[in-house]
Every structure is written in C-alpha cells, then in structure tokens.
Amino acid sequence: MWQFAVPLLLTRFFPTTLLPNVLFQLVVYIFLIVTMPHVGAFVDRTNRWHVLRTGIVGMTSMMVVSATALVAATVLHPNPNDIAPSNPVANTTTDATVQFAPIFASSLNFAGTPWPLYTAVAVAVVASAVGQMFNDMQTLALEKDWVIELATATDTSLASWNTALLRIDMATRILSPMAFAFQMDVLQNVISYTGQVFVLVASVAGWNLLLAPLVLATGHDLYDLCPSLGNKKTHRQRHAQPPQTRSSTTAMWKLYLHHPTALVSLSFCLLYLTVLKENALSTAYLLWHG
C-alpha cells in the first residue's frame, strides 16, 4: 500500500509536474537493481527466521521514516491554505481536478520553496526505496525458500502453495490501492488538504505498525512448527556460494547485457518509468488530469 500511496501524495505536493513521481520510480528501481543480488545472497546464507525478521522490522522502520518525512514536508509548506493548481491542463479539465489541488501549489518553484521541504521529500523517497528492498527480501524468502520446506514438511504439492501465495499477493495488490483511494476520496470533502495528508499517512503507517507484531508472531510460530526451516538445504551446505563481490556483480551484468533478450528486458523495465505500466505512476497521471 505504501508504494501506491507515496506517488499519489507526491502528486498533491507537486501539482504541475509528474517529475517527482518519475524520480520516485527511478530511485526505487535503481536501488533494487543494485541491492537485490546482495539481498539474494544474504537470503541464501542466513538463517530463515533471521531473514524474515530483518525484512519485517526493516520495512516497518523505513515506512515510519518515510511517513515522518512526509508529515515534516507538510509542516514545512509555507502556504498550506493555497489550493489553486497552476497546471494548465488541470485548469481546463473538470472541477474535480481543482478540488484535488495539492497543498504545494508552488510545485517545482525552487526560488519560492524552502530547501528543507525538498530534503524531507527526498528522505521520504529514499526511505521508501529501502523499505521496498526489505519487502522484496520477505517475498524472496517466503516464496522461493520457505515454501519449499513447508511443502515438503506437510507432504503437499508445491504448486498448491505457490498458487495460494500468488492469490494472496494479487489480492493485496488489488485491495490495498482500493482502500487507500477510497479513503482519499472520502477525506477530500471532509477536511483540509493538510489534514488529509496527516490522516492518510497516519492511517497507512499505523496499519503497518499494528500488523508488524502479528506478522512476526505468525512467522515465528510457523518457524517453530516446521523444524526443517531451521536448517539450510544440504546441497546448499555442500556447495556454498562465495559472498557477493564487486567482480561477481560485474560479471553478472556483463552476462545479462550480452544476452539476446537484454534489449527486450531493458525496454520492458523502462516501462516502469512511464504511465504505460499499470502502477502508481499511471494512477497519479490519471489523477493529475482530473
């Protein structure tokens, strides 16, 4: 939900451009490209419960940091009552666009906006990128590592476990943005724009803070119920891979760039920086146009 919420909140902060949203996507995905090979190596060589616990605590902590930075950005805004958008496209569309005017009408006017404001937004973006890394760490550990041991221990089909996890993942991807958008729509006609940011940020961060202990307790119980999770696979122990180094990372990138499908893969990845990919950026684009 947080990765969906941040671009929409950035649209409120900067109504005349989608550049901050594009930069947000760029920062997140570049950070993931650089760090995920090391995260994968960490998952392979580290105790499973330690990996899951690190992912949960890290993601929750980064979400709190990002939420605090967004609240600070709201406080640092010099004109919280100014709600008139300067986007010429938005001004010629519907009244709903005007009603959605963000709390930062100055947008990217560097001369009129204090630098602490941009610092707070930058902290929120970087913290969100780090939080996404911890989230992907959990996904990698559960869907690629834990599930194999659980299927073996319960003598059930691995396909059924993968299907169940995929359904849960897809359900959260659908329901979370719907819940956030519904809350945003309700608050739009109830409280001020500054109050909306406070409530939206507090609700998402508070929800994750409440869920974190429950997720930790569930993971710990599952770890205790399946003793085989406490041991890495024997073939991994016999063929332990060396730690990720700069030379191995460089060799990996050379292999990828020389692969016949490298250009196709890079082209698809670049879609994540545009409104053509179904993500929070495309939602922000539609919202930007009313």
For residues 177 and 283, is the Cβ–Cβ distance under 8 A? yes
Q: Is the dihedral of CA 105, 109, 127, 123 positive or negative?
A: negative
Question: How far is residue 93 CA from its own chain's centroid?
Answer: 30
Q: What percent of the chain has pLDDT above 90?
A: 14
Q: For residue range 242-274, list pLDDT tens digits in order.
A: 555 666 778 888 888 888 898 998 888 777 767
| Predicted local distance difference test score (pLDDT) of residue 279 | 67
pLDDT at 19 over 70: yes
- Average pLDDT of every residue of the chain: 77
For residues 196 and 187, is the Cβ–Cβ distance under 8 A? yes
Mean pLDDT for 71-86 is 59
Question: For residues 101 and 153, which has the higher predicted lDDT (pLDDT)?
Answer: 153
> In 199-231, which positions are buried (b, 16+ CB within 10 angstroms) versus exposed (e)?
bbbebbbebbeeebeebbeebeeebeebeebee
**Residue 280: which region, alpha, beta or left (left: phi > 0; alpha: psi -120 to 50)?**
alpha
Structure tokens at 148: 């194999």
84 — pLDDT class (breaks 50, 70, 90): very low
| Predicted local distance difference test score (pLDDT) of residue 245 | 60
Structure tokens at 254: 């050379």
Question: For residues 90 and 184, which has the higher predicted lDDT (pLDDT)?
Answer: 184
Structure tokens at 178: 């719907």
Which DSSP string corresponds to 152-215?
Answer: HHHT--HHHHHHHHHHHHHHHHHHHHHHHHHHHHHHHTTS-HHHHHHHHHHHHHHHHHHHHHHH
First to last CA, the chain: 22
101 — pLDDT class (breaks 50, 70, 90): very low
| Predicted local distance difference test score (pLDDT) of residue 176 | 81
pLDDT at 93 over 50: no
Mean pLDDT for 6-28 is 79
User: pTM, whole model, 2 decimals?
Assistant: 0.75
Query: Closest by alpha carbon to 147, among 132, 162, 136, 169?
Result: 162
Q: For residue range 156-215, list pLDDT tens digits in order.
A: 888 888 888 889 888 888 888 788 778 877 877 777 777 878 888 888 888 889 999 999
For residues 66 and 123, is the Cβ–Cβ distance under 8 A? yes
- The CA–CA distances, whole Å, from 111 to 24, 127, 169, 190, 241 equal 22, 26, 44, 32, 52
Structure tokens at 222: 């599952």
